Structure 1
Amino acid sequence: MTTQTQIPVVVNGACGKMGREVVKAVSKAEDLILVGAVDKNPTVQGEDIGEVIGCGPLEVPVLSDLEATLVMAQSQGLAVMVDFTHPDTVYEAVRSAIAYGVRPVVGTTGLSNQQIRELAEFADKASTGCLIIPNFSIGVVLMQQAALQAAQYFDHVEIIELHHNQKADAPSGTAVQTAQMLTELGKPYNVSQVNETESMPGARGSVTEDGIRIHSVRLPGLIAHQEVIFGASGQIYTLRHDTSDRASFMPGVLLCIRRVMPLKSLIYGMDKIL
C-alpha cells in the first residue's frame, strides 16, 4: 500500500538492461514505490522482479499485461510509468498510460516526429504530464548546451553516436535531438565545398534537412557515447560524452519521475525541466 508521500511507479520493460537499473533505483528511493513490473519475457512471468534482477525480493511480480498493471497503479494514486521497451511498441504503451491517467516517462527512442506530435495532442486533451527523454544523463544535457554555444561560432558540424549492438534504432534519439537543437538556431551548416559522391551508399552517414551529418556506430562493448565535432579553418572543436555504466542515467530518471507529476502536457528533452 502506498502512502501519500510516495509516487507509485510502473516499469515497462523491467527485465531489460535499463529497466533493471530503474527497478533498483526506484526501490531504493524513499519517495517512490514500485507497484508494477511489466515485461514480455515468458520465462519470468509471475516471478518477483527483485529476485529476477538479483536485488532481493520486492514483492512485485513480473507481468505481461501492461493495461491491467496501469489500472492497478492508477487505483493507488497519481502514478508514473517508466518505459524502456522497443521502438515498435513504445507508442501504444505511452498512449495507453495517458489514457489511464498514468504519467509516462519515456526513455525508449525511435518515436517519429508525427508520433510525438500525436502523443502531445493526446496528453494535452487528457491534461496528463508526459516526458519523452532521449537521454537521461546530466552530462549529455551539458554537452548539448556547449554545442549550442559552439554553433554560434562554427558553421561546420557533424555528429557521431556510438551504442551497443543491441540498440534497435539508428540514429540515436540523443543524436537526433542534438541536431534538432542546432537547427533551431536558424543558421545553415556545412555549406558544400564540392559536389560529393559516395562510392558506397551511406559512407557519409545520414543527413538532416539543414545539412548536419549523423553517423551511427553499433558494437559490443559500447554503452552510449556521442561526439559533436565542429570544424573551421585551422581548428577542430570536439565535444564528447561517454557512458561506462547505466547507473549514470538513474539520477535523471528519478528526477523525471518527480518532475512529471505536476505537468499537464508533453515535454520533450530533459533540458526543458532542469
Structure 2
Amino acid sequence: MALSGKVSLVTGGAKNLGAQIALELAAVGSDLALHYNSAKTKEDADKLAEELTRKYPKISVKFYDGDLTTAAAVDKLFADVLHDFGKIDIVVNTVGMVLKKSILDISEEEYDKMFAINSKAAFFILKAGAKNVTDGGKLITIVTSLLAAFTGLYTSYAGSKAPVEHFTRGVCKELQPRGVSVNAIAPGPMDTPFFYPQEGADAVAFHKSQGMGGRLTDIKDIAPIVRFLCTEGSWITGQTIFANGGYTTR
C-alpha cells in the first residue's frame, strides 16, 4: 500500500478529525503515533485503538498524551515517537481551540490560551517536524476557512490560526532541498462537538446555508485530503487548501 513502512504522527489524533485522519492513513498502510491532550480523551483513544487493531491488524499503533503548548512537551513527544518507531515520515497537527467572542469580552488569559494552542503549539510542532521528519516527508497543519472570512467574533480564533500560514510557507521553503512538503488545510465549520458550544441555532443554520448541499464540513471531507497530500499530492507544498464546500474563498 502507498504508505506501507511509513510512520505518521497525528496530534489530536484520538477523536473527531484526528481519529478520522488516523483511519484514513491506516487504510493505506501507515503505522500510527497518535497523540491526545489529556486523560479525559483516554476512552476515545481506547475505542480508536480497538477499531484500528480490528480493521488494520498489520500496522503498529501507539498513543501518547500531553499538553503541547510548550516546546519541551513537543520535543518530548517527538523523542518518544522516535524511540518507539525509529523514524517519523508524516506529521499531521490537528490541535486547535475555538473561541467566539467580541474582542471587548476577551480576557488576557483567553488570548494567551488561544495563541498557545493555535499558534505556539503549531510553530513548535512544525519546528520539531522540520528537524525530525525523514527526507521526502510531509508536514500538515489544520487551520480554518475563517482565514478567508470578513467577520467579527472570531478575532482571537482566526487571528491565532493566521500565523500558521506564514509558518507553513517559511518552513516549506526551508525544507524544499529535502523534498519535504509542508501544507495547511482550512476546513469550513465542521460538524464536530467542538463547533456547537460556540453557536446558537440561528448561527448553525447560517453556517450550513453557506456550504454546498446546505451542510457543515464533515470530517470525512477533510481526511482524504490529508491522505492525498501524503501520497499522490506530494508535489503540492507551501499552500493553504480551503476545503469548505464553497463556504468562503479569497
Most deviating of 12-21 and 249-258: 249-258
Q: List per-residue Cα deviations over 1:98-136 (Å, max 9, x = no partner).
A: 23235212224345444422442233123231110102x
Contact 2:190 2:216 survives alignment (8 Å): no
Q: Distance in 2 between matches of 1:25 and 1:51?
A: 16
After superposition, where does 1:1-274 map in structure 2 within 5 Å?
A: 5-29=4-28, 32-42=29-39, 49=45, 51-52=47-48, 54-57=50-53, 59-64=60-65, 65-69=76-80, 71=82, 75-76=86-87, 79-86=89-96, 87-88=118-119, 89-101=121-133, 102-109=137-144, 110=158, 111-127=160-176, 128-135=180-187, 166-167=194-195, 218-219=199-200, 225=208, 227=210, 242-243=215-216, 245-259=218-232, 261=234, 265-269=237-241
How many equivalent residue pairs?
A: 183
Q: CA RMSD in A?
A: 4.1
262 and 100 in structure 1: CA distance in 2 versus 1, 3 angstrom threshold: farther
Contact 2:17 2:94 survives alignment (8 Å): yes
Q: Who wins on radius of gyration, i.e. which is larger?
A: 1
Q: Percent identity?
A: 8
AA aligned to 2:125 is: A
Q: List per-residue Cα deviations over 1:134-188 (Å, max 9, x = no partner).
A: 02xxxx8xxxxxxxxxxxxxxxxxxxx68667249xxxxxxxxxxxxxxxxxxxx
Q: TM-score, normalised by structure 2?
A: 0.55
Contact 1:13 1:84 survives alignment (8 Å): yes
Q: Which runs of 5+ in 2 are unaligned?
A: 66-75, 97-117, 145-157, 244-250
Contact 1:9 1:34 survives alignment (8 Å): yes
Q: Distance in 2 between matches of 1:240 and 1:51?
A: 31
Aligned to 1:172: none
Contact 2:191 2:218 survives alignment (8 Å): no
AA aligned to 1:20 is: A
Q: Distance in 2 between matches of 1:18 and 1:248?
A: 10
240 and 261 in structure 1: CA distance in 2 versus 1, 3 angstrom threshold: same
Give the drift of 1:37.
0.7
98 and 260 in structure 1: CA distance in 2 versus 1, 3 angstrom threshold: farther
Q: Which runs of 5+ in 1 are unaligned?
A: 141-160, 169-216, 229-238
Q: TM-score, normalised by structure 1?
A: 0.51
Q: Distance in 1 between matches of 2:95 and 2:124?
A: 11
Contact 1:104 1:130 survives alignment (8 Å): yes
Give the drift of 1:3.
9.3
76 and 96 in structure 1: CA distance in 2 versus 1, 3 angstrom threshold: closer
Contact 1:95 1:119 survives alignment (8 Å): no
Q: Distance in 2 between matches of 1:21 and 1:92?
A: 23
SS at match of 2:19: helix
Contact 1:35 1:73 survives alignment (8 Å): no
